[in-house]
Amino acid sequence: QKEVEQDPGPLSVPEGAIVSLNCTYSNSAFQYFMWYRQYSRKGPELLMYTYSSGNKEDGRFTAQVDKSSKYISLFIRDSQPSDSATYLCAMTPGGNEKLTFGTGTRLTIIP
Amino acid sequence: DAGVIQSPRHEVTEMGQEVTLRCKPISGHNSLFWYRQTMMRGLELLIYFNNNVPIDDSGMPEDRFSAKMPNASFSTLKIQPSEPRDSAVYFCASRRRTDMGSQHFGDGTRLSIL
């Protein structure tokens, strides 16, 4: 079993819809949780960063962490075609250690 | 500021040849990571350096793979001899150690071994 599980999709939703992306993990030592966005033929870029449990909001994006369930989510409100990309979750026990990535969910927003 | 710069962007070569991938991290960043991305396995960490010193190379698949970081502004990942199963996109990322968890990625080298 992988340490981090992520549904690869693909996921297609109409423009303006709310998108929910999720990851589950098995290592209870993970404390730092990140979401990266990767456009086609580009490297991943950091989108959201959360420490421990709770919610964090940045514009149309909200990241949630539930450590008791070992489950993290990324919500995208008012989705736009420019949000079409692959979204990867990542996590680490400590901020200075290597990241463990999910395999990514491919998202398409249909105009 | 310039981002992480990788070269070449694409590489096509025949099985058995030596392949060298290059990376220039962001100035001031003191951690450097090499990843491999495939459809089947996703993004896998191969090796990472702190202050030019290799810290963890447990992800390096075989002795055919080697990585060096001779100074703070340059790193190489070498495959010798290359095999078709090495075909993947290879990413380099760098980070300032005080930036908790935030890694900055280059745009990758798309490697095809025929």
Residues of B in contact with A101 (CB under 8 A): 42-43
- Over residues B99-114, the pLDDT tens digits come to 766 899 999 999 999 9
B42/A103 touch (CB, cutoff 8 Å), yes or no: yes
Nearest CA in chain B to A42: B107
The band of A35, judged by pLDDT with boundaries at 50, 70 and 90, is very high
Task: Quote the pLDDT of residue A96.
Answer: 63
Residue B27 burial by Cβ neighbours in a 10 Å radius (0-12, 13-18, 19+): exposed
**Rg of the Cα trace of chain B?**
13
- Over residues B67-103, the pLDDT tens digits come to 999 999 999 999 999 999 999 999 999 998 777 668 9
Q: How far is A57 from chain B (nearest CA, A)?
A: 17
Q: How far is B85 from chain A (nearest CA, A)?
A: 19
